[in-house]
With several copies, the nearest count.
Chain A
């Protein structure tokens, strides 16, 4: 069964940040919790027609810590660690 939600994907080497616009309600909880303050408002609209979020808004890059994924009440973010690279 393929997912009914298509993610917008952002990659920065350390990790992949998937944002499902059809789930994001733009609540901002993730924005506040990102330890490197990289999440900000996107031009893309979320499920309620309000701005969704995206990484790349801070001084530092996403470190793929997964906190935003954890605190999103709508499961709108999925973080994939790009760990294989180093390990490989």
Chain B
């Protein structure tokens, strides 16, 4: 995939998709690229699916939302259903392999549909709390929209104050990022 991308990231409230979007776009911005990120919002968000729309490009970015994403990442059953509308025939659709009961809801028209074991990897290999960083890795792996080092800098900027207290956390996060990238590359 090229250096620009339209990404729809969707999950449950607690899964941290908005902070993933935030870190990725900040990384791209720091990289001197055009980046645009807009969350969904509405009056009934409590418990609703949280969607982050991210665009990164070398050119000025058009509409903040888009019809069809280059990559969709869905982290819950409801997110799988909600994000179908952003799938076109060039879209890579990524979902977590642990999500149950969505077999019939997976998009039929996507370029690729990938199941990655992000929840499992985070839980078993790393720590459940870095689940969203694994996802961030997956996004970067799938799109190449930001450089890994930039991504690490952005994580550092966001979580640096925590890393100072517990340097092991840094390692854990960076590991998560890399594992995420690997997960998706294995599948691509």
Direct contact of A and B (CB under 8 A): yes
Please measure, in the bound complex, the distance between the C-alpha atom of A22 and the C-alpha atom of B47, giving whole angstroms: 12
> Which residue of A has the minimal Cβ distance to B77?
A49
Please measure, in the bound complex, the distance between the C-alpha atom of A25 and the C-alpha atom of B76, giving whole angstroms: 16
Chain A residues near B (Cβ < 8 Å)? 25, 47-50
When each residue 5-19 of chain B gets 1 if its CB lies under 8 Å from chain A and 0 otherwise, what string results?
000000011100000
Interface SS majority for chain B = loop
Q: Can you list 10 residue pairs at the A/B interface with Cβ under 8 Å? A: A25-B47, A47-B47, A48-B12, A48-B13, A48-B14, A48-B47, A49-B12, A49-B14, A49-B76, A50-B14
- Tell me how far the C-beta of A44 lies from the nearest C-beta in chain B, rounded to whole angstroms: 14
Chain B residues near A (Cβ < 8 Å)? 12-14, 47, 76
Contact residues in A for B12 (Cβ distance below 8 Å): 48-49
Please measure, in the bound complex, the distance between the C-alpha atom of A20 and the C-alpha atom of B107, giving whole angstroms: 31
> Which residue of B has the minimal Cβ distance to A46?
B47
Contact residues in A for B47 (Cβ distance below 8 Å): 25, 47-48
Contact residues in B for A48 (Cβ distance below 8 Å): 12-14, 47
Contact residues in B for A47 (Cβ distance below 8 Å): 47
Q: Which of A25, A47, A49, A50 has the most CB of B within 10 A?
A: A49
> Which residue of A has the minimal Cβ distance to B75?
A49
Please measure, in the bound complex, the distance between the C-alpha atom of A59 and the C-alpha atom of B130, giving whole angstroms: 33
> Which residue of B has the minimal Cβ distance to A50?
B14
Please measure, in the bound complex, the distance between the C-alpha atom of A49 and the C-alpha atom of B12, giving whole angstroms: 8
> Which residue of B has the minimal Cβ distance to A26?
B14
- Tell me how far the C-beta of B15 lies from the nearest C-beta in chain A, rounded to whole angstroms: 8
List 7 additional contacts besides A48-B14, A48-B47; criterion CB under 8 Å. A25-B47, A47-B47, A48-B12, A49-B12, A49-B14, A49-B76, A50-B14
- Tell me how far the C-beta of A49 lies from the nearest C-beta in chain B, rounded to whole angstroms: 5
Contact residues in A for B14 (Cβ distance below 8 Å): 48-50
> Which residue of A has the minimal Cβ distance to B13?
A48
- Tell me how far the C-beta of B112 lies from the nearest C-beta in chain A, rounded to whole angstroms: 26
Please measure, in the bound complex, the distance between the C-alpha atom of A59 and the C-alpha atom of B13, giving whole angstroms: 33
- Tell me how far the C-beta of A88 lies from the nearest C-beta in chain B, rounded to whole angstroms: 43
Contact residues in B for A50 (Cβ distance below 8 Å): 14
Please measure, in the bound complex, the distance between the C-alpha atom of A48 and the C-alpha atom of B47, giving whole angstroms: 6
- Tell me how far the C-beta of B150 lies from the nearest C-beta in chain A, rounded to whole angstroms: 31
Contact residues in B for A49 (Cβ distance below 8 Å): 12, 14, 76
Contact residues in A for B76 (Cβ distance below 8 Å): 49
Please measure, in the bound complex, the distance between the C-alpha atom of A78 and the C-alpha atom of B47, giving whole angstroms: 23
Please measure, in the bound complex, the distance between the C-alpha atom of A49 and the C-alpha atom of B77, giving whole angstroms: 10
> Which residue of B has the minimal Cβ distance to A48?
B47
